[in-house]
Amino acid sequence: MFISRILAVAVLAVIPLSSPAVAAGPDAAVQRRVDAVLAKHGGQQISANQVRWADGGAVTTVQSPDQWGDPSTCAYGNFCVYTDSGYGGDRTDFLRCETYPYSTDFWSYVNNQTGGTRATLISDQGSDPVLTPGAWHGQFTWNGLNYSAVKPC
């Protein structure tokens, strides 16, 4: 009897009394935002913080909140929008000359396409589309509300 009690106590000592802890902190927050991008646009997670959209024509990079924006993160040939002013927040790189549904507010953008190429921002309010200045052009602050689509070229 005494030995069976010792064994029972030993077994209980190695069985966790609660479920394993869920990862918390910046990595978990980034993954939640990556999951939200996947839910909205489909596609595939291609790195810890990047999603290639289902149609392959755009890539969203989820940045940690403590990262500051840098317009040079928008690769040559792309039109990029940022969810925060100052090229901060999550960045979506539009890679091809197509019209993309995009209803996420953005507060800055970089047009780093070939010389003179202009992007078209299509309003969901029925107003005329907005043409950006030709490439290269960066807009540090932009009221990117109420757009439903982006055509990078």
Can you point out the beta strands (E) in the chain? 44-47, 50-52, 58-61, 78-84, 88-94, 100-101, 108-112, 120-123, 130-131, 137-139, 147-151
Domain ranges of the chain: 25-69+77-151
As given in the structure block, the two tokens for residue 3 are 């030995």
The confidence score (pLDDT) of residue 112 equals 96
Structure tokens at 11: 């077994």
Q: Which residue has the higher pLDDT, 7 or 43?
A: 43
pLDDT band of residue 143 (cuts 50, 70, 90) is: confident
Query: What pLDDT was estimated at residue 24?
Result: 56
User: Which residues lie below 8 Å from residue 19, measured CB to CB, with a gap of 6+?
Assistant: none
Predicted local distance difference test score (pLDDT) of residue 4: 45
Tens of pLDDT, residues 33-65: 999 999 999 999 999 999 999 999 999 999 876
| 62-71, 98-107, 133-142: the lowest-pLDDT one | 62-71
CATH tag for 25-69+77-151 (out of 3.40.50.300, 2.60.20.10, 3.40.50.280, 3.40.1160.10) = 2.60.20.10
Share of residues in the chain with pLDDT > 70 (%): 80
Q: Is the pLDDT of residue 5 over 80?
A: no
What pLDDT does 25 receive? 56
Confidence check: pLDDT of 15 > 80: no
pTM of the predicted model as reported, rounded to 2 decimal places: 0.79
Query: pLDDT grade, residue 2 (50/70/90)?
Result: very low
Amino acid at 129: P
Neighbours of 36 (CB within 10 A): 15
Tens-place pLDDT, residues 81-112: 999 889 988 999 999 999 999 888 889 999 99
